[in-house]
A and B are shown apart, each in its own frame.
Chain A
Amino acid sequence: MQAYDVGGELGKGQWGTVFRGKRVRDGLRVAIKRVRAGDPVEGVNFQVLREIKMLKGVKHENIVELVDVVPQEEGLNMIFELMATDLEKVLYGTTPTEAEIKGYAAMLLEGLAFMHAHFALHRDIKPANLLISFEGILKLGDFGYARYLADENCHMSDQCCTLWYRPPELLFGASEYGFGIDTWSAGCVLAEVGLKHPLFRGETDLDQLAKIFQITGPPDETAWPGVSSLRKYIRFSKNDNPLTVRTLLNNARLAPDFVDLIVGLLSLDPKSRDSAVDALDRPFFTALPRPVARPPRKHL
């Protein structure tokens, strides 16, 4: 760890603590995520291994860069490039312009498209995990849940994604899923950017489903073939005035092409949901104003 000057604390989580720091050799500003890894019960922490494995594999402009990993006593230090802020802080602490919002949306989808092209799932897309650099580049962060897509008929856990951004197929207990889980979360994030509050704020798994279906109306076999055979499928009764996501967003006076983008990502059936690449082809990104990446006005 002599290669880095450790500075003040930036944040704390259940997995450990993040410090600000500097690489002695060239003064590169870094964030040091110190995790307890020498778990005496099950060895090196599975999630930490996953995060290192994924970040060493996927290198892209819109994915946070893991500079180094340094072991220290019982723990590990994961050294990341220092980021200025995250989308949650930008969204609730400042007022990004339309062009900046478009930029963030494009960079989020570019990052996802890259991961998906390499058969990797992020599985925890939410505003707090979308980091923004000092140059205003949005990068996907926190790869603790990320993994490569399993082979066919191999089960993956349905316990991932933060509840508010968790897609209906996971809430119904699907164990074979695909890139749709990330694009649903992306849709939720973009809707939140437009609305300035989270789209579906459930308190439990069931409540989350109820919140989603209150707006979209419950799915049936015609809208989503195969839904009723999912492991935790529950039939929801039809509500009298389904609002649809489209009217909800239109009522909030979002630009029509922005609404189209979000609605495409928030299709209940994962098979008919837009992929990240489809979403990037939407007219939203070619219409004026053009997307930009501007340095954030407020940072840590």
Chain B
Amino acid sequence: MSDDSVLLPAEILARSPSVADGVSSEVEMEHRIWACELIQEAGILLRLPMVCMCTAQNLLHRFYYRKSLKRFDALSVAMACFFLACKIEEKPRRIRETLFVFHYIWRCRVKTAPRTLDLGGPRYNSWKADLVKTERHVLKELGFSFYVLDHAHKFILFYVKILDLNRDVAQRAWNYLNDSMRLDFCLRYRSEVIACAAIFMAARALQKKLPTEAQD
């Protein structure tokens, strides 16, 4: 009942704005992956359910098919998508929590990053203004259709049950899906298909036999 599909057409996927702006596609991929990792880690630190991170990562990938990395840096966009996704998934987080958590995971990664972010200080205020501004850009670029009804994760347990596989396979497939969100699969393939691929890989890795024929 949401907008039927969030898949992007091939001609858009083939031409990313960053590449058009002179960023190589390898660098673009690295930035996407880095941004998604920030989102994942922020979500874990704030004890959010996976659906918030998935939505944020989905928004981020869609955003970078609209705008170039040269205009919007990965950190700001990751933060904005995260902040927005929490609201969308009914788990709103304070702007303050979002800023502190992102500053923390950023400075863990970047040696030269400033060590502190003082509440109400000049750096805090400029980050906050940037976050609010970027959030609006994200909404605008996505045309205000931001609700992802069916993440691939939703199908895992259902399929695992039908295929009569165990918990380990489900967990392994779930992990693959979490990792898959680093890339823009969610805009290329339907969620059911991604879920099937994850289960297939998990069954292979754990040497579990999958049924070879359709059963009633």
Contact present for A57 and B149 (CB under 8 Å): yes
- A59 beta carbon closer than 8 Å to chain B: yes
A44, A56, A147: the one contacting B139 at CB < 8 Å is A44
Q: Report A-chain residues with C-beta under 8 Å of the C-beta of B143.
A: 69
Contact present for B131 and A43 (CB under 8 Å): yes
- B117 beta carbon closer than 8 Å to chain A: no
Contact digits for B1-18, partner A, Cβ 8 Å, 1 yes 0 no: 111000000000000000
- B204 beta carbon closer than 8 Å to chain A: no
Q: Count A-B contacts at CB 8 Å.
A: 55
B92, B131, B144: the one contacting A56 at CB < 8 Å is B144
Tell me, in angstroms, the Cα distance from A44 to B83 when the chains sit together.
Answer: 10
- Shortest beta-carbon distance, B82 to chain A, in Å? 11
Contact present for B90 and A148 (CB under 8 Å): yes
Given that A43-B95, A71-B139, A71-B140 are known contacts, is A57 also in contact with B1, CB under 8 Å in the complex? yes
Contact present for A44 and B135 (CB under 8 Å): yes
Q: Report B-chain residues with C-beta under 8 Å of the C-beta of A44.
A: 84, 87, 135-136, 139
Tell me, in angstroms, the Cα distance from A43 to B132 when the chains sit together.
Answer: 5
Contact digits for B64-88, partner A, Cβ 8 Å, 1 yes 0 no: 0000000000000000000110011
Contact digits for A80-95, partner B, Cβ 8 Å, 1 yes 0 no: 0000000000000000
Contact digits for B125-142, partner A, Cβ 8 Å, 1 yes 0 no: 000110110011001100
Tell me, in angstroms, the Cα distance from A249 to B76 when the chains sit together.
Answer: 59
Q: Which of A17-66 contact B (CB under 8 A)?
A: 37-44, 46, 49-50, 52-53, 56-59
- A150 beta carbon closer than 8 Å to chain B: yes
Q: Report B-chain residues with C-beta under 8 Å of the C-beta of A118.
A: 1
Contact present for A59 and B1 (CB under 8 Å): yes
Contact present for A43 and B83 (CB under 8 Å): yes
- Shortest beta-carbon distance, A141 to chain B, in Å? 18
- What are 19 residue pairs bridging A and B, where the CB atoms are less than 8 Å apart in the complex? A37-B136, A39-B132, A42-B92, A43-B83, A43-B84, A43-B87, A43-B95, A43-B131, A44-B87, A44-B135, A44-B136, A52-B144, A53-B147, A56-B2, A56-B3, A56-B145, A57-B1, A71-B139, A148-B90
Q: Kindly list 6 other residue pairs between chains A and B, CB separation below 8 angstroms, not including A40-B132, A57-B1.
A: A43-B87, A43-B131, A46-B87, A52-B144, A53-B146, A147-B90
